């Protein structure tokens, strides 16, 4: 009855296995978005955290995702008239489904090279690689099977299921490219592409025995487009577009933020944004999954972000309550300038 265990487990956490973690505030977690963004910061180093809570209206214990990262950049070939940089970073993330105590955690190291493409250093091509080690764990004691039913009031008996070990680890490899270019004096454009899970690792809990189940994690291909467009004064428009395809799943995030200063001599900037997320699921159905609202506050080198995903599919019964919120904090340390241009939020 091994297949029964697989079906039960996949029904409960299918969305966690079939596709990656994702963040609405994807540029607040640059190392999980694209390895080429390591070191793409206006300071000498950057630290950030993002927390996401999802489906609180559906589950007693909602899906929770946390990511944190630190990255630095260094000038290379100082005698070279062009200003090239190397970026390095370390990141951590954790996905957790508390109802069955399922978790997926990863620690990763990232390196990127930022190559200046013109004498005025107004264009950069960045290439990045990320190597991570992931571990998956499930509390099998929280799973129940048909043969455990006592015939009266609960699943209190023993099971004859051949249960696997409850945790395993695997190595992961991610690759990325990113282009950044200046538009006029105060505007910038960004375009990136990334491939995650290049090794297509086996993520089945059944890893030994005669009938080993191989369930490979689909490679994920993503593309990102964004800009930081000056509107004059202390206002800017930040449009963005992200598409990610992983196996049968596809996700698009598209919209824009507006950034403006709160007073002529104030150190505070307010970010207001909205965008939508159409998706394609494993049944090949395409639908508008969520509308997003974002509120951000920038104080000197700190940027706080709060976003809420309002599920459009709440209008249907089987997806009711699948909303989410995110909280992010990014700090850029030892601010220098915008030589290496970096997208935000």
DSSP letter for each residue of 259-287: EEESSTT-SEEEEEEEEEEEEE-TT--EE
Span 102-109, mean pLDDT? 92
Confidence band, pLDDT 50/70/90 cuts, at residue 341: low
Query: For 171-210, how does the pLDDT look when each residue is reduced to its tens digit (9 = 90+)?
Result: 999 999 999 999 988 899 999 999 999 999 988 887 666 5
Q: pLDDT at position 223, please? A: 97
The mean pLDDT value of the chain amounts to 84
Does pLDDT of 92 surpass 90? yes
Strand partners, 111: 88, 129
**Pair 305, 271: CB distance under 8 Å:** yes
The H-or-E segment that residue 5 falls in is helix 2-18
The H-or-E segment that residue 315 falls in is none
Q: Give me the domains of the chain, ranges plus CATH numbers.
A: 2-335 (2.40.160.40)
330 class by beta-carbon count within 10 Å (0-12 exposed, 13-18 middle, 19+ buried): buried
CA distance 216 to 145: 25
Using DSSP's 3-state secondary structure scheme, residue 159 falls into coil
Q: pLDDT at position 120, please? A: 87
Span 124-131, mean pLDDT? 97
- Of 76 and 334, the structure prediction assigns the larger pLDDT to 76
CA distance 123 to 134: 35
Q: pLDDT at position 185, please? A: 85
Q: pLDDT at position 200, please? A: 93
Does pLDDT of 8 surpass 60? no
Does pLDDT of 233 surpass 60? yes
**Pair 95, 63: CB distance under 8 Å:** yes
**Pair 106, 132: CB distance under 8 Å:** yes
Q: pLDDT at position 184, please? A: 87
Q: pLDDT at position 5, please? A: 42
Q: pLDDT at position 210, please? A: 58
Using DSSP's 3-state secondary structure scheme, residue 79 falls into coil
Span 228-235, mean pLDDT? 90
CA distance 144 to 157: 10
- Count the alpha carbons within 13 Å of 130 in the hemisphere toward its beta carbon: 33
Using DSSP's 3-state secondary structure scheme, residue 339 falls into coil
**Pair 259, 240: CB distance under 8 Å:** no
* pTM of the predicted model as reported, rounded to 2 decimal places: 0.85
Please tell me what DSSP assigns to residue 162. -
Confidence band, pLDDT 50/70/90 cuts, at residue 337: low
User: Among 198-207, 290-299, 310-319, which is the least confidently predicted range?
Assistant: 310-319
Q: pLDDT at position 15, please? A: 40
């Amino acid at each position: 009855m091994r297949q029964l265990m697989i079906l039960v487990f996949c029904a409960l956490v299918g969305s966690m296995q079939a596709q990656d973690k994702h963040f609405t505030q994807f540029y607040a977690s640059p190392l999980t978005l694209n390895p080429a963004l390591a070191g793409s910061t206006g300071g000498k180093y950057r630290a950030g955290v993002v927390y996401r809570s999802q489906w609180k209206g559906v589950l007693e214990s909602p899906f929770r995702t946390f990511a944190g990262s630190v990255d630095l950049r260094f000038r290379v070939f100082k005698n070279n008239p062009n200003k090239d940089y190397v970026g390095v970073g370390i990141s951590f993330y954790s996905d957790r489904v508390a109802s069955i105590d399922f978790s997926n955690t990863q620690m990763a190291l990232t390196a990127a090279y930022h190559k200046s493409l013109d004498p005025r250093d107004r264009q950069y091509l960045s290439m990045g690689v990320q190597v991570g080690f992931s571990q998956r764990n499930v509390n099998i004691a929280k799973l129940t099977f048909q043969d455990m039913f006592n015939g009266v009031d609960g699943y209190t008996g023993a099971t004859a299921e051949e249960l696997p070990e409850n945790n395993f680890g695997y190595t992961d490899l991610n690759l990325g490219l990113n282009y950044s270019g200046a538009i006029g004096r105060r505007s910038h454009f960004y375009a990136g592409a990334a491939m995650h899970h290049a090794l297509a690792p086996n993520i089945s809990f059944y890893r030994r025995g005669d009938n080993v189940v191989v369930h490979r994690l689909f490679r994920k291909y993503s593309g990102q487009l964004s800009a930081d467009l000056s509107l004059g004064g202390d206002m800017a428009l930040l449009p963005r577009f992200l598409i990610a395809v992983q196996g049968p799943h596809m996700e698009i995030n598209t919209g824009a933020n507006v950034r403006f200063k709160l007073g002529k001599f104030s150190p505070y900037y307010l970010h207001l944004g909205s965008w939508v997320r159409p998706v394609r699921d494993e049944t090949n159905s395409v639908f508008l999954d969520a509308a997003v609202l974002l509120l951000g506050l920038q104080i000197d080198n700190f940027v706080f972000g709060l976003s809420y995903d309002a599920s459009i599919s709440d209008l249907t019964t089987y997806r009711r309550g699948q909303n989410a919120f995110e909280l992010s904090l990014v700090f850029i340390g030892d601010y220098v300038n915008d030589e290496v241009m970096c997208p935000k939020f």
